[in-house]
Structures are given as structure tokens and as C-alpha cells.
């Protein structure tokens, strides 16, 4: 940014380096090493189909997840989600050594009722990565990866792996 001074970017392909130099008002240097590797096919983690699709208000889900994540941060960090088709809600629960806490949020649910558990902090981070008002979740039971996306931004999908737990 112009108000923070000039920056010089230098690429050294022979050594796989990118260097950033802050010139004014304070001199600084940041060097990054580029890595050429064969990365796994991330698309193989994305569910091709889902047995349950949930659409929910992202802010309501985020608020509930943040409160429950705080409740379990010094313990198991498990956040359980149960989709209730008949009630049209998701029920979130968390437990620590002192007891349990829960919240219920209205949702549009298609498919099968389901139960899945996630790491509470990763759930909050995933929810914070979206900007839209609504969020879609595609689930395939308690042991399969879930895909989360903003209906208004179809090119961004967040994959969240489940935690194995008992109901």
C-alpha cells in the first residue's frame, strides 16, 4: 500500500525463492521458499453425492459454534451436530468435565437425518471463512468428510473432516 511505503518483489527461480523488501519508511525483508511437489488430489476428498444437505443461517450457526467451542476448549473440543428432519433444526451439543451445553438452530434439511461430530475450533474457523448469509452443508454420515459452501459462491468449498465419537 502506498501509505505504508514501497515494496520490492524479487523472484529467484534458480533457488526457488521469492523475496519481499520493504523500502520505506522502515526497511524489512521477508523471504519465502517455493516448493515443487506432487500434491494429493484434493478433489478426491470432496463428496460426489450426499445423503444429507443442510442449508442454515451462517451467523446463527457461527454464534452457537463459538459459544460451544469456548465451553469445550480445555477438554475434548468435540462439537456434535444432529440434523432433525421433522423439526427442521440442527441440534449442536458439547460436553466438558463440568456438564453439557447445547443450542438448536432452524435449518432446511433434505435427505436423511444424520449425526456427525467436528472439532469445535475447526468448525468455528470454517464458518468464519465464509462471507455469505447462508451456508450449505453436504454430509454423508458420521465418518465421511463433509463439504461446506456458500450458495452464492459455488467456487469455494470447505472440507471438514469428522471426529470419531459416540453419540
* Mean pLDDT within 88-96: 95
* Length, in residues, of the chain: 167
pLDDT for 1 equals 44
Tens of pLDDT, residue by residue over 28-42, are 788 888 777 777 787
Tens of pLDDT, residue by residue over 43-52, are 777 778 899 9
pTM, to two decimals: 0.75
**37-45 contacts, C-beta under 8 A, 24 or more apart:** 42/159, 45/145, 45/159
Instruction: Tell me the C-alpha distance between 52 and 129, whole Å.
Output: 22
DSSP states of 71-124 as a string? HHTTTT-EEEEEEETTTTEEEEEEEETTEEEEEEEEEEEEE--EEEEEEHHHHH
Nearest-CA neighbor of 136 among 128, 146, 121? 146
pLDDT for 147 equals 93
Tracing cell 433444526 back to the chain, one arrives at 89
Grid cell, residue 137, equals: 452443508
| pLDDT exceeds cutoff 50 at 2 | no
Cis peptide upstream of residue 25 (ω within 30 degrees of 0): yes
Question: Could you give the C-alpha distances from 2 to 6, 7, 10, 22, 119, in angstroms and in order?
Answer: 7, 9, 19, 11, 41
* Mean pLDDT within 131-152: 93
Instruction: Tell me the C-alpha distance between 141 and 116, whole Å.
Output: 6
Average pLDDT, whole number, for the chain?
Answer: 89
* Mean pLDDT within 139-158: 91
Tracing cell 437425518 back to the chain, one arrives at 113
Share of the chain above pLDDT 70, in %: 95
Amino acid at each position: 500500500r502506498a501509505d505504508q511505503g514501497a515494496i520490492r518483489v524479487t523472484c529467484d527461480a534458480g533457488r526457488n525463492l521469492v523475496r519481499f523488501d520493504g523500502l520505506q519508511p522502515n526497511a524489512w525483508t521477508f523471504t519465502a521458499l517455493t516448493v515443487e511437489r506432487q500434491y494429493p488430489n484434493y478433489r478426491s476428498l470432496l463428496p460426489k453425492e450426499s445423503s444429507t444437505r443442510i442449508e442454515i443461517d451462517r451467523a446463527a450457526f457461527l454464534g452457537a459454534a463459538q459459544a460451544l467451542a469456548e465451553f469445550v476448549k480445555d477438554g475434548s473440543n468435540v462439537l456434535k451436530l444432529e440434523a432433525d428432519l421433522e423439526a427442521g433444526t440442527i441440534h449442536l451439543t458439547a460436553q466438558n468435565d463440568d456438564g453439557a451445553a447445547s443450542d438448536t438452530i432452524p435449518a432446511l434439511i433434505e435427505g436423511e437425518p444424520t449425526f456427525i461430530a467436528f472439532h469445535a475450533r475447526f468448525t468455528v474457523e470454517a464458518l468464519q471463512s465464509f462471507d455469505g448469509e447462508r451456508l450449505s452443508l453436504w454430509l454423508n454420515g458420521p465418518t465421511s468428510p463433509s463439504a461446506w459452501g456458500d450458495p452464492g459462491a459455488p467456487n469455494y468449498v470447505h472440507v471438514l473432516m469428522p471426529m470419531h465419537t459416540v453419540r
